[in-house]
Structure 1
Amino acid sequence: MMNTMLIPFALLVISNCFMTLAWYGHLKFLHGAPLWQAILFGWLIALLEYAFMIPATRLLAQDGWSVGQMKITQEVMTLLVFVPFMIYLFKQPFKLDYLWAGLCLLGCVYFVFRSQ
Structure 2
Amino acid sequence: MNIGVSPYTAPVILLAISNVFMTYAWYGHLKGDPKPLWIAVMLSWGIAFFEYWLAVPANRIGHTVYSAAELKTMQEVITLAVFAGFSVLYLGEKLTINHLIGFAFIALGAWFIFRGPIGT
The CA distance in 2 between the partners of 1:81 and 1:93, in whole Å, is: 14
Aligned residue number for residue 89 of structure 1: 90
For residues 42-53 of structure 1, the aligned pairs below 5 Å read: 42-53=44-55
The CA distance in 2 between the partners of 1:49 and 1:18, in whole Å, is: 5
Identity within the alignment, %:
37
Q: Normalized per residue, which structure has more helix?
A: 1
- Aligned-residue offset at 1:3: 4.5
SS at match of 1:5: coil
**Alignment RMSD (CA, Å):** 1.7
SS at match of 1:62: coil
Q: Is the 8 A contact 2:12 2:74 kept in 1?
A: no
TM value normalised by structure 1: 0.88
The CA distance in 1 between the partners of 2:115 and 2:27, in whole Å, is: 34
Aligned residue number for residue 107 of structure 1: 108
List runs of 5+ in structure 2 lacking aligned partners: none
List runs of 5+ in structure 1 lacking aligned partners: none
Instruction: Give the count of matched residue pairs.
Output: 113
Aligned residue number for residue 40 of structure 1: 42
TM value normalised by structure 2: 0.86
Aligned residue number for residue 54 of structure 1: 56
1:23-71 deviation digits (Å, cap 9, x = unpaired): 0111125x331111000011000001101100110111011x2211111
The CA distance in 2 between the partners of 1:4 and 1:68, in whole Å, is: 16
Question: In structure 2, what residue type is equivalent to 1:58?
Answer: R
Select the residue among 8, 14, 35 that pairs with 1:11.
14
The CA distance in 2 between the partners of 1:42 and 1:105, in whole Å, is: 27
